[in-house]
Amino acid sequence: MARYQIPEDPRKSKRKDSPDKRPRRLRQDAPNGGQEPTPWRWLGLGLVVTVISIGLALALVNSLLARPPLEAAPIEPTLIILTAPPSPIPSPTSPLPTPSPIPTFTPIPTPDTAVAPPEITVGFYAQVANTDGFGINLRGGPSTSNAQITVVDEGSLVLVIGGPEPDEANNRLWWQIQLDDGTEGWSVGEFLVPAAGP
């Protein structure tokens, strides 16, 4: 009856001096005692190719350097002659200067703010209204995205100093107003009604 043997693990490397490895055979008929011959033929061919390549590169560089420079066409300068216009003939001056008329001062009429205008007008007063007692937000610019400065109570009298500025996003008109204490800001026109001044 045959005995079972566990086969060797093929992953384990064999030692170099194991008897299974065959030594490399050397040619016994080589003239230098079995060593590989030096490839003189290939070395010589490589040397010839290198010399030819260097010669071609030098010839190309010499041909590029030996080319004459390109001739540029001469540029003729353009002459610009500036001539001054003829000077006017001086007119005789009078010995005394002509008096100039004195401008008259026309005073700008002051608007009568004691009477309410038919609609909100710059330079007249307006009153905060239609806010259900909440008042209006006074803002730093003509848009709800501007910072709020203060809240103006309903019934307050304000001076309109600028506007109107349209707010196309909300379809509103904004007016710049001034409070009694000098605070200035912007308010929506729908919460202002024309009013007589103090």
- Per-residue pLDDT reduced to its tens digit, 112-146: 777 888 888 888 999 999 888 889 999 998 888 88
- Check residues 3 and 140 and name the one with the higher pLDDT: 140
Q: Which two tokens stand for residue 184?
A: 């200035």
Q: Residue 101 is which amino acid?
A: P
Contact 126, 196 (CB under 8 A): no
Closest by Cα among 178, 196, 34 to 114:
196
Kindly report, residue by residue over 24-35, the tens digit of the pLDDT: 555 555 555 556
Domains of the chain: 125-195 (2.30.30.40)
Please list, in sequence order, all residues whose beta carbon lies within 8 angstroms of the beta carbon of residue 139, skipping any fewer than 6 positions away: 146, 147, 148, 149, 185, 186, 187
pLDDT (0 to 100) of residue 64: 84
pTM for the full predicted model: 0.45
